[in-house]
């Protein structure tokens, strides 16, 4: 059996773990003995996990294969030397070491081990002051990872590192951005797309579509296109729709994609009048979550919240309750109408971000989804809270629903 480690993003460890489990299930890869240690999700498989499967992941920082264990730090250099002789081949030109204690990167220990091994391993060493590798460093490089958990040191061989440069390029090269709207990060969008599918993306046909009914600037659609899916996006506001079209057209042309992207201006509570005779295989979206908030300071030096639309009116509990009422009304109309374009008993998945409000040490949630489901959707998994700054009023939570 092969023991593989997934080092999960701290943004939401349960969400990232669920993504790994669902993606492996879609690829029919059987896992045994799953264990979560801090942000390390460890599984056993009877064969190596293909690169095409790992490359789909949005919530994993790196993957590694466990190759040995030790009970003392002194034994590590000898173990590395032994396994280096087994694993190195003529194509390997560089060498590196990551060292972790529980969840925390240990740059001093990494540097110390590197200095010790320089005596015997005659290769150039990559500088690992922080645990981030770029595509140039990964090329022809053998990286060992040491993780100290409880009384055991685990020796791993790095097999994959998330392509952070590609994520940065996606944001940097967007012709249209809406920073004030609080865009979904690309990694979260990728997780949402993966969780919305029932099978690997390459098994869907070009006339089967992932739908984002609140497309905004197109982040979720871009990640779906990047995975090889055809997409449909709906956006109500004219300025946002024009920007959405710019972003999607640019991404498709820049990457020479052949999968389809259909964009409609319109109201997502009337989807059945916008989308006709299209096969929707998945839905992933972040709807409108409420107004943006900012802090102000009064003459006594005390901070308070206001909304962007009412910058001179302090936020109150009653205002939060009105927001929840209005959002519940919007979401209910959208979810009910969406049933008209999703086939009954199709088990189509809907992955959606919904808000929870945190104000004056109280949490306010929408009374929309409970253990009995909502309308003709079943709650499959969630909610998963996305880690955010403590002073934010709106907290994002991801739900996975299934069409009954």
pLDDT digits (tens, 9 = 90+) for 8-54: 999 999 999 999 999 999 999 999 999 999 999 999 999 999 999 99
**Which pLDDT value is given to residue 295?**
87
Arithmetic mean of pLDDT, 99-125: 86
pTM recorded for the entire structure: 0.95
Percent of the chain topping pLDDT 70:
96
User: For residue 128, what pLDDT band results from cuts at 50, 70 and 90?
Assistant: low
Q: Residue 383 corresponds to which tokens in the numbers above? A: 């909610």
**Which pLDDT value is given to residue 181?**
64
Whether 219 has a pLDDT exceeding 80, the answer reads yes
Arithmetic mean of pLDDT, 290-318: 87
> What is the rounded distance in angstroms from the CA atom of residue 145 to the CA atom of residue 3?
14
> What is the rounded distance in angstroms from the CA atom of residue 404 to the CA atom of residue 393?
33
**Residues present in the chain in total:** 404
Arithmetic mean of pLDDT, 369-387: 80
Arithmetic mean of pLDDT, 311-333: 93
Residues in contact with 295: Cβ distance below 8 Å, sequence separation at least 6, in sequence order: 303, 304, 305, 306, 391
**Which pLDDT value is given to residue 165?**
92
SS3 7: strand
User: For residue 357, what pLDDT band results from cuts at 50, 70 and 90?
Assistant: very high
Lowest model confidence (mean pLDDT) among 9-23, 70-84, 143-157, 179-193: 179-193
Residues in contact with 129: Cβ distance below 8 Å, sequence separation at least 6, in sequence order: 107, 111
Arithmetic mean of pLDDT, 132-141: 80
Domains and CATH numbers, the chain: 2-162 (3.30.2130.30), 182-403 (3.40.50.150)
Instruction: Single out the residue of 264, 212, 272 nearest to residue 241, CA to CA.
Output: 264
Q: How many CB atoms lie within 10 A of CB 48?
A: 13
**Which pLDDT value is given to residue 131?**
64
**Which pLDDT value is given to residue 370?**
54
Angle at 202 between CA 41 and CA 220, to 5 degrees: 70
Lowest model confidence (mean pLDDT) among 100-109, 128-137, 196-205, 211-220: 128-137
Question: Strands 394-403 and 377-385: what pairing?
Answer: antiparallel
Whether 130 has a pLDDT exceeding 80, the answer reads no
Instruction: Single out the residue of 11, 12, 9, 39 nearest to residue 102, CA to CA.
Output: 39
Instruction: Single out the residue of 72, 68, 56 nearest to residue 144, CA to CA.
Output: 68
Phi (first) and psi of residue 102, to 5 degrees: 55, -105
Phi (first) and psi of residue 49, to 5 degrees: -80, 125
Q: Residue 309 corresponds to which tokens in the numbers above? A: 């639309």
């Amino acid at each position: 059996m092969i023991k593989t480690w997934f080092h999960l993003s701290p943004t939401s460890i349960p969400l990232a773990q669920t993504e790994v489990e669902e993606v492996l299930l879609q690829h029919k890869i059987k896992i045994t003995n799953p264990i979560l240690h801090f942000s390390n999700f460890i599984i056993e498989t009877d064969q190596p996990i293909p690169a095409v499967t790992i490359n789909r992941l949005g919530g994993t920082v790196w993957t590694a294969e466990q190759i040995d264990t030790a009970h003392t730090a002194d034994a590590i250099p000898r173990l590395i030397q032994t396994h280096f002789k087994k694993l190195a081949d003529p194509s390997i030109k560089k060498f590196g070491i990551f060292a972790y204690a529980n969840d925390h990167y240990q740059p001093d220990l990494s540097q110390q081990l590197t200095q010790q091994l320089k005596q015997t391993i005659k290769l150039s060493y990559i500088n690992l002051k922080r645990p981030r590798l770029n595509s140039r460093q990964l090329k022809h490089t053998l990286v060992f990872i040491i993780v100290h958990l409880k009384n055991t040191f685990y020796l791993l061989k790095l097999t994959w590192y998330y392509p952070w440069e590609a994520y940065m390029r996606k944001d940097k090269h967007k012709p249209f951005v809406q920073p004030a709207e609080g865009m979904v990060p690309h990694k979260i969008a990728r997780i949402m797309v993966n969780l919305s599918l029932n099978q690997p993306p390459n098994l869907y046909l070009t006339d089967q579509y992932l739908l984002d009914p609140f497309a905004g600037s197109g982040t979720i659609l871009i990640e779906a296109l990047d995975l090889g899916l055809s997409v449909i996006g709906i956006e109500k506001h004219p300025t946002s729709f024009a920007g959405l079209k710019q972003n999607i057209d640019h991404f498709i042309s820049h990457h020479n994609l052949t999968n389809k992207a259909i964009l409609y201006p319109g109201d997502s509570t009337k989807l059945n009048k916008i989308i006709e005779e299209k096969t929707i295989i998945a839905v992933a979206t972040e709807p409108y979550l409420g107004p943006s908030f900012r802090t102000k300071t009064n003459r006594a030096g005390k901070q308070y919240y206001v909304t962007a639309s009412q910058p001179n009116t302090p936020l109150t509990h009653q205002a939060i309750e009105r927001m929840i009422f209005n959002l519940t009304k919007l979401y209910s109309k959208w979810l009910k109408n969406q049933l008209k374009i999703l086939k009954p008993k199709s088990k189509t998945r809907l992955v959606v971000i919904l808000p929870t409000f945190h104000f004056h040490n109280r949490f306010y949630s929408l009374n929309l989804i409970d253990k009995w489901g909502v309308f003709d959707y079943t709650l499959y998994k969630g909610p998963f809270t996305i880690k955010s700054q403590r002073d934010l009023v709106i907290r994002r939570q991801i739900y996975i629903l299934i069409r009954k």
